[in-house]
Amino acid sequence: MTSFSARSALPAGVWVGAARMIVLAAALASTATTWAATAPPAVVHALKITVLVTNLAGDPGKGDGEWGYSALVEVDGHKVLYDTGASAELVLRNAQALSIDLSDVEDVVLSHNHADHVAGLMALRRELSKVNPRAMSGVHVGEGIFRPRLTRGGEDRNGLKEIRAQYLATGGTFIVHDKPTQLWPGVWLSGPVPRPNDERNWFPGLSLQSPHGLIEDNVPEDSALLFNTADGTVILTGCGHAGVVNISEYARQILGAQPLLAIVGGLHLFAASDATLAWTGEKLRSYHLLNLLAGHCTGIEATYRLREATGLGRRSAVVSAVGSSFTLGHGIDALLLAQ
């Protein structure tokens, strides 16, 4: 586990605004001891997460589904796009179908390198920068996201392999985080998540180069957005490759052991065994999970098992469709099919 250990351990004043070229990790380490006595942890006051891409289509005429994920975060006047879908244009098309304007979104978070989360980035940057040159101009990522992911034949399958150079050529920047970072007051990017629980939530078969040779690619960069609210912690995760229990435990270290107000996103549990789902649900129940908007690779049966194991109901544990949302103070809007 990393050296910081509580909600008070990182500086409130460190957040990313216009200074996009900064890599914050080094700054955090040197100031980590001073904040606890001087400032209460920041909370967000208004938060809405709207799912723009997930596997299940939403209401008629309100967007299409695909194997991938993207969600728009609106938090205290800031907008952030978390992941960009699997096909080039679907985030744009679904946003249009949902009457959501993305041209004022300047910050993006990519949860990890897989193509079903990063492939829409260039179309978004190219299209929206015609309206606003700063649209989609800064991308926050976890340390290690650019490392080659090798097949047995040595081919690199990193989903950002070609996109990286194309994106930089547009004037966009990547901001790499190797530690939890407060992007805005109360809004945290986890950076790489420690894996004390052996959840193994990824497709096997790719390798990473390490100083000791090739090791299995466990998607080490996988990063979640965390929101500190007066009602508890909200977690937004793309594929949950770090494991939703590992992510939840890390969130509790960063923001404290308050209730988990909501988990939103993909949990990669579609093929999990009955025992794994029961264990996962029991863990989430012990963290007082209150809402689950589970999309993408979570799996439909897995969502129902988690609903049962956590003691949640049909309004608070939902299969996420395109356009579904979680709003602070309101809860989940499941739309028609998944209500």
Beta bridge mates, 196: none
Count, residues near Zn ion per rule CB under 5 A: 4
Nearest approach in angstroms of CB 202 to Zn ion is 7
d(CA 262, CA 291): 4
Secondary structure letter of residue 193 according to DSSP: P
Specify the stretch interacting with Zn ion by CB under 5 A; choose among 92-100, 110-118, 277-285, 303-311: 110-118
d(CA 47, CA 286): 24
Give the Cβ contact number of residue 35 at 10 Å.
17
> Should residue 217 be labelled a site residue for Zn ion when binding is judged by CB under 5 A?
no
Give Cβ neighbours of residue 241 (< 8 Å, ≥ 6 apart): 112, 201, 202, 218, 219, 222, 268
> Should residue 149 be labelled a site residue for Zn ion when binding is judged by CB under 5 A?
no
Nearest approach in angstroms of CB 13 to Zn ion is 33
Helix H or strand E segment including 283 = helix 274-286
d(CA 271, CA 121): 28
3-state secondary structure at position 330: coil
Nearest approach in angstroms of CB 203 to Zn ion is 7
> Should residue 116 be labelled a site residue for Zn ion when binding is judged by CB under 5 A?
yes
Nearest approach in angstroms of CB 119 to Zn ion is 11
Nearest approach in angstroms of CB 299 to Zn ion is 12
Binding test (CB under 5 A) with Zn ion, winner from 114, 125, 140, 179: 114
x/- map, 287-306, Zn ion, by CB under 5 A? ----------x---------
Binding test (CB under 5 A) with Zn ion, winner from 128, 239, 264, 332: 239
**Nearer CB in complex with Zn ion: 66/178:** 66
Specify the stretch interacting with Zn ion by CB under 5 A; choose among 129-137, 173-181, 238-246, 285-293: 238-246
> Should residue 81 be labelled a site residue for Zn ion when binding is judged by CB under 5 A?
no
What are the start-end ranges of the H helices in 35-188? Answer: 90-97, 115-118, 121-128, 163-169
Nearest approach in angstroms of CB 339 to Zn ion is 25
**Nearer CB in complex with Zn ion: 24/294:** 294
Contact 260, 272 (CB under 8 A): no
d(CA 58, CA 231): 28
Beta bridge mates, 17: none
**Nearer CB in complex with Zn ion: 242/290:** 242
- Kindly list the residues in this chain that would bind Zn ion in the complex (CB under 5 A): 114, 116, 239, 297
